[in-house]
Structure 1
């Protein structure tokens, strides 16, 4: 009886500057232990990336996804979800991509392993919670926009020139856990102007949030 070939797995390890994050050695050890237990052919790919808020600007991850799409590997594995993304919606989208392209996703801390029936069921549950999160954020954004429209039409002390998608983005990033300073940095990096055409600061982000929801915490 022929033995099935070993699953070719990319073990993605993200190293950040946050001292509270788990170190690369711990991530690698967890992935290697699972590979030994399940007989994977494991290749570790390590990336220095401070943030997992977005899947953008991570060339090592981008390369891994290209290799998976071309079927040079069978699965992408991470020791914890936050090594891949802190945004459950992003993770859900990646699960959908994996299913469409024919490769597997493995996330040890969530029990997600789409090569098994149980792990695939966990992936489906994750996708459900991601959809609920998207709807919750969308609902809050609609309420926020309605409140802004119902108010005097002023934001930051003068008529608001903020597009609806900018306001929606601020609320979505805040819901995802980004600090006001981080939101300001992202808006500035993307060239998004404030209502007065100036640079974003944590205080201007706060004004957008508190104009609708009341005092906001940093």
Structure 2
């Protein structure tokens, strides 16, 4: 009997969490499915903290699919992509067992034997412990930087900005070359272009991406909706092209668009 599975990929909103990109997770999961002879039903990708599960729209969509009997398995790169809270992992695994759905991990050996179930709980426990360490490191690091009079930011500068001095990291200034990319992509999106179409154009023109080797639609969305640079609920266009919630994008002059919240 052919097994139909959904792939679930997640990257975190936490600055210091070791995030494998959504695209990287999908690629590894697809290779795993090919080796196991699984048929991929859908791929669910989202950016959300691993310490919540009720609020994750893509996770809810996948859960609904296995409740309806559309899939027989779920594939994740690692168990912590499913959740970083031990209690939530227990809830989700119990639910999968109830509906006859098997969880597969690309990087970890997970089975339904008593020892395998115990191993899953141990992995979930360590994932939760790591989450607490991440929070502690993040808070401590930001407090220490603030005490030293340094800029408190994330793990790297937002796309479109650069350090005035890369060595001393004294203050940030606009990176005019990347700012021009932001202005153009923001205008394209506001005019009705999709993230896929824009990322395809950027790649064809050889525009260096924010990270990695090529632009991906998900990566472009993250750049254009960076919460460190967006102003919430500020109306820019009286007659928007899409009629969705409007946000002010970036403090870089000339960069403004409407982004779906």
Q: Quick one: distance in 2 between partners of 1:74 and 1:81?
A: 18
Provide the C-alpha distance between the structure 2 equivalents of 1:99 and 1:15, rounded to a whole number of angstroms: 25
Matches within 5 A, 1:144-155: none
Deviations 1:66-97 (A, max 9, x none): 11011111111101122111123321221111
- When you count helix as a share of all residues, which structure comes out higher? 1
Query: How many angstroms apart in 2 are the aligned matches of 1:64 and 1:55?
Result: 12
CA-based RMSD: 3.3
In structure 1, runs of 5+ residues without a counterpart are 134-171, 184-201, 203-218
Q: Separation in 2 of the partners of 1:86 and 1:29?
A: 22
With structure 2 as the length reference, what TM-score do the two structures score? Answer: 0.44
2:63 corresponds to: 65
Give the corresponding residue for 1:80.
78
Deviations 1:138-173 (A, max 9, x none): xxxxxxxxxxxxxxxxxxxxxxxxxxxxxxxxxx99
**Residues 1:46 and 1:7: Cα distance change in structure 2 (over 3 Å):** same
Q: What is the match of residue 179 of structure 1?
A: 135
Closer, same or farther in 2 for the Cα pair 1:43/1:91, shift >3 Å? Answer: same
Q: Which aligned pairs between 1:52-201 and structure 2 lie closer than 5 A? A: 52-114=50-112, 121-127=115-121, 176-177=132-133, 179=135
SS in structure 2 of the partner of residue 95 of structure 1 = helix
**Is the Cα contact below 8 Å between 1:77 and 1:105 reproduced in 2?**
yes
Of 4, 10, 29, 1:8 maps to 4
TM-score normalised according to structure 1 size: 0.52
Tell me if structure 1 keeps the 8 A contact 2:12–2:19.
yes
Measured at CA, do residues 32 and 47 of structure 1 come closer, stay the same or move farther in structure 2, by a change above 3 Å? Answer: closer
Counterpart contact for 1:95–1:123, Cα < 8 Å: no
1:137 corresponding residue in structure 2: none
Aligned length: 137
* SS in structure 2 at match of 1:179: helix
For residues 44 and 9 of structure 1, do their structure 2 counterparts lie closer, same or farther at Cα, with a shift above 3 Å needed?
A: same
| Kept after mapping to 1: 8 A contact 2:110/2:119 | no
> Residues of 2 paired with 1:175 and 1:9: CA distance?
28
SS of residue matched to 1:112: coil
Contact 1:28 1:44 in 2 (8 A): no
User: Aligned in 2, Cα 1:99/1:46: closer, same or farther, shift over 3 Å?
Assistant: closer
1:129 and 1:12, CA in 2 relative to 1: closer, same or farther beyond 3 A? closer
